[in-house]
Amino acid sequence: MFDKMRRLPDAELEVMKAIWDNTPPMSTNDVMKVISNEKNWNISTLLTLLSRLIDRGFLSSEKRGRERIYYPQVEREEYMEYETKNFIKKLHKNSFMSLVNTLYDNNDLTEQDIDELSQWLEEKKNNG
């Protein structure tokens, strides 16, 4: 899927997060209820975003009675993996250490983060 996947614009990502965070399938009205808590979008804006997500292969839809319902075709974890790999590749030249150094140098890593990372690395080392 990664060869066809592309980065989502922020507005489309907000729609996908609303669908991922709830139990699919979701109707247009269900998505609107969730989105309206955070965004002041009208229904036509949402319909445009849903249509784009279908065109990009992130959603499928079907008509059920008078409503249209939406099913995710890309799982959150799959998209997160794509975005993370793309981010590290683009900005850190595929270097995990570059990412960690940036976080450390900017004081974005707490002692707890460092301890958890150390523990995670030790577990991977022992299990791998």
Displacement of CA 46 from its chain's centroid (Å):
18
Query: pLDDT per residue over 44-96, tens digit each?
Result: 999 999 999 999 999 999 999 999 999 999 999 999 999 999 889 988 888 88
DSSP 87-102: HHHHHHTT-HHHHHHH
Pick the CATH number of 10-72 from 1.10.760.10, 3.90.1150.10, 1.10.10.10, 3.30.930.10: 1.10.10.10
CA distances from 98 to 35, 60, 112 (A): 36, 38, 20
Domain ranges of the chain: 10-72, 76-127
What is the share, in percent, of the chain residues with pLDDT greater than 70?
96
pLDDT level of residue 99 (50, 70, 90 thresholds): confident
pLDDT band at 3 (very low <50, low <70, confident <90, very high): low
- Percent helix, strand and coil across the chain, each to the nearest 5: 60, 10, 30
Phi and psi torsions of 8, nearest 5° = -85, 140
